[in-house]
Structure 1
Amino acid sequence: MPPSPAAPASLPPRLDVIAVGAHPDDVEIGCGGTLAKLAEQGYRVGIVDLTDGEPTPASPGPEVRLAEAAQAAQILGVSERITLDLPNRRLMDGFDERVALAKVFRRWRPQLVLGLGEKTPLASPDHWQAMQITDAAVFYSRLTKWDEHFDHLPPHRIEAQLYYSLSFYSLDPPTIGGDFVVDISSTLAAKLAAVRAYATQFPPEKQELFARVEAMNRWFGSAAGFRAGERLASPRAIGVTDLMGSLHLSAGSRSDN
């Protein structure tokens, strides 16, 4: 992994990857195994929660939910977790919301952003709003001649964006672009432990979620030849420069003829 460039004196060391969710636990469920795998590989990973997720039925308050989020981040090996002061249940895509997230991107300068990738009917409409906010903030992050809106943080161009899914009830693949599977065989246990850190969100009557998440990740993994996997999607066509490496072909599997 190439070293990250030195940060300007006024900015913190950069994050390689930032994953964005509407609420604490979105990212863990959707792509927690991928984040843990990236951290395992030595990348600096961050999470941005657009809201604190409160109120919720079983949580005594934001401080408990934030403590659960901090524990989950530690389990995944996440370097930084940032919670924006946007309203749960009333999250809307608007200029101020886009700028708030774009300022995070400008400050932490990720190469890759992972965000929610679709609507979740019968679940929180915040997820769809979060997708639109994230898409816009990736664009806003690089815009010049608009410094007064971004606390004069320097523009930053994000090199890649991917989507993760919170859809458990559809038999169809995502419609947002080219989808692929990340091998999380070594980090599935950490992902499940991170989700379990949200004890207020998953009381005894909701324990079936863990079996559902594990089964889904086992299914995605088996489709790609892994013990467990997470399906991500790219809004752009996926390009390959190392075909054999991308197909995970080892030297021992090549023909000697």
Structure 2
Amino acid sequence: MTKQLKVLVIEAHPDEAEMYAGGTAALLADRGAAVKFMSLTNGDAGHHEMSREALKRRRAREAFKAADLLSVLDYEILDNHDGELFSDLPLRKAVLRAICRWRADIVITFHDECEGHFDNRVAARVVREAVDFCTNDNVVDLVPALTQAPICLRMTDYGAIPTHKHDIVVDVTDSIERKLRACAAHATQFLEFSPYERGFLNEAPKEGDWASERPFVLKHWPEFMYAVDGMKPALQAKYGRTAEFAESFDLAGYGRAVSIEDVNALLAV
């Protein structure tokens, strides 16, 4: 019997796994992988009008709707305040416990040493620190250690674009509609808060108007939807062609030591 591939995407805020890895997550789920998203904050600062308590509840509902669209099996959201994430022992143990409980073969997270959102950098740092202990049976209780460290991949965000390496590139053309719908499901972010902060709230469609949501998301977040020039050599080498839509992952320098070819063969997408 072939072992089911287990994938854990660890982000700082609900909606980031969808935007940066949602297409790949959907493709992996299609081929039978068990995919989980984990947010280390509840996202309760990400709005210009809503209170923290109301916002965290709404963002949780959005996250589970997005997970269903992508066939992601679980979406764990830690109850830490958005904008206040710190790398401490309780957080590291929570991440370590999640990696071991999910029996993760692959962990995807952010870059930890670059510019950008403080929470994102902290999330990545905590993952790197937790992975170092995932084969040690004496660190977290009641969850057996892994027999080998997971493969660790890094997804890009705004701060990581200048240093991100396009090691593993996935053509997500077949899942782009689900990815876009999953992003739009996070209406607080894609239709409200980010448009407000970036000055195009007047262009934002009403939630549920998919015919308007789709082009709106593509217009304002193109760098995380389309295949950018830096991805094209890897796409050509892998598929014998380029693609319109793609996602890119940087093979981290921690976790299980593998080659790019090993990762592409394991993902098989």
- One fold, TM greater than 0.5? yes
The aligned residue for residue 3 of structure 1 is 3
Contact 1:48–1:82 under 8 Å retained in 2: yes
Q: From the two aligned structures, give the one with the greater helix fraction.
A: 2
Alignment-derived partner of residue 143 in structure 1: 136
| Structure 2, unaligned runs of 5 or more | 205-215, 236-241
Q: How does 1:1-257 map to 2 (within 5 A)?
A: 2-4=2-4, 16-57=6-47, 58-59=49-50, 60-118=54-112, 121=115, 123-146=116-139, 150-156=140-146, 157-167=148-158, 170=161, 172-174=162-164, 179-202=167-190, 203=192, 205=200, 207=204, 210-220=218-228, 223=232, 224=235, 225-236=242-253, 238-240=259-261
Structure 1 residues 131 and 241, CA gap change in structure 2 (3 angstroms): closer
**Amino acid aligned to 2:149:** I
Identity of aligned residues (%): 24
The structure whose Rg is larger is 1
Does the CA-based 8 Å contact 2:135-2:149 persist in structure 1? yes
Q: Report deviation, 1:168.
A: 6.9
Shift of 1:213: 2.9
* TM-score, L = length of structure 1: 0.78
5+ residue gaps, structure 1, are 5-14, 249-257
**Residues 60-116 of structure 1: per-residue CA shift (max 9 Å, x gap):** 421111000111111111011111233321101112111011111121111110001
AA aligned to 2:17 is V
User: How many positions carry a matched residue from both structures?
Assistant: 229
Provide the secondary structure at the position in 2 that maps to 1:20: strand
Match of 1:251?
Answer: none
Partner in structure 2 of residue 255 of structure 1: none
TM-score by length of 2: 0.75
Structure 1 residue 138: deviation in Å?
1.6
Query: What root-mean-square deviation, in Å, do the aligned CA atoms of Structure 1 and Structure 2 show?
Result: 2.9
Contact 1:116–1:130, Cα closer than 8 Å, also in 2: yes
